[in-house]
Amino acid sequence: MTEGKALARHHHSSRTGTDAFLVAAVDPQIAVMQVETNNSFGHPHQYVLEALAGREVLRDDLHGQIHVQSDRRRISHECEKGIGRRTAG
């Protein structure tokens, strides 16, 4: 998204997947992570979670299926479990 409201993290949120510089440049309101429950790599990495401090972090291992949509002014999301429905912007 050009407005930087949401940030989808790749590579299961490993240490090299996100850093504070990227987060500062994008300035997302929410971050979405695909994380396998009890994975042997310990993802998401603590460094990634620290880089995203102060933002809403949605993880499929905790929240189930995550649906995010935006009209370029506002962003909303629904989660299968955990958080429910929210709108920001």
pLDDT tens for residues 29-51? 888 888 877 777 767 888 888 88
Backbone dihedral angles phi then psi of residue 52, each to the nearest 5 degrees: -95, 10
Q: What is the domain extent for residue 72? A: 6-88
The per-residue pLDDT for 13 is: 63
Q: Give the separation between CA 29 and CA 36, rounded to whole angstroms.
A: 23
Given CA atoms 31, 59, 41, 45 in this order, what sign does their dihedral have? positive
How confident is the model over 52-73, as pLDDT tens digits?
A: 888 888 988 889 999 888 888 8
The per-residue pLDDT for 14 is: 64
State the total domains in the chain. Answer: 1
**Residue 48: inside a domain:** yes
pLDDT of 2 over the 50 cut: no
**Residue 1: inside a domain:** no
